[in-house]
Amino acid sequence: MQLDNFTNEFFGIGIQNGKTPENLGVLWRSAQNMGASFIFTIGNRYAKQASDTHNAVKAMPYYHYTSFQDFFDHLPKGTRIVGVELDARATSLETFNHPRRCVYLLGAEDHGLTKEAIGKSHFLVKFSSVMSLNVAVAGSIVLYDRSLNKSRI
C-alpha cells in the first residue's frame, strides 16, 4: 500500500460479493481518480474489466479475499472498516468524518453487506436516498465525500 509520509493517511475501497464485473471496473476507475491507495474484492473475483478504461487494476494494488474473515484477518493494523449500507444504525454520509486510515466496504445491490461485515464494521454510513444506489455510484459518492475538506478522525 502506498502511504503518504506527511499525513499518514491511506484508504482502499472494495466490494463484497460483487454482482457484475462492470460495477467493479467503474468503481476502480473512480478509486484511481479519487486517490485510493488500493482496491479489493471479497468473494467473487473478476479480472480486468472493459469498464476500467483507465486501467486502474494495473495502476494500484488490487487484493482479492476469498471470504470476509480472510479480508478481516489481513487488514493493516489500525485500519478502520467503513461499511456503506442502508441501515438504521448508519451515520449520514453528509455528517460523517472519515477515518485517516480505512477501507470502504460496499455490498452488491441485491444483497448488501453480510451480517458479519455489518457487525465487524467500525462505522456504517448511508446516503440520504430513498432506495439503494448502484454499487459503483455509491462508492464514487463516498470517495468524493472523502475528498472534501472535512475533519478526519
What region, left, alpha or beta, does residue 8 occupy, with left being phi > 0 and alpha being psi -120 to 50 degrees?
left
> Is 34 among the domain residues?
yes
Tens of pLDDT, residue by residue over 22-79, are 888 888 889 999 999 999 999 975 554 444 555 555 678 889 999 999 999 999 999 9
If one counts every other C-beta atom within 10 angstroms of the C-beta of residue 123, the result is 19
Which segments of 34-89 does DSSP mark as H helices, in order? 56-59, 68-73
> Is 4 among the domain residues?
no
Closest CA relative to residue 26, chosen from 121, 147, 143, 149? 143
CATH number for position 92: 3.40.1280.10
> Is 81 among the domain residues?
yes
Q: What is the pLDDT of residue 19?
A: 78
Residue 60 structural domain: 10-147
What are the residues facing 125 on neighbouring strands?
Answer: 84, 91
> Is 152 among the domain residues?
no
> Is 153 among the domain residues?
no
**Total number of domains constituting the chain:** 1
Closest CA relative to residue 139, chosen from 100, 86, 84? 84
The answer to whether 39 and 132 have CB atoms below 8 angstroms apart is no
> Is 69 among the domain residues?
yes
Name the residue with higher pLDDT: 7 or 2.
7
> pTM for this one?
0.86
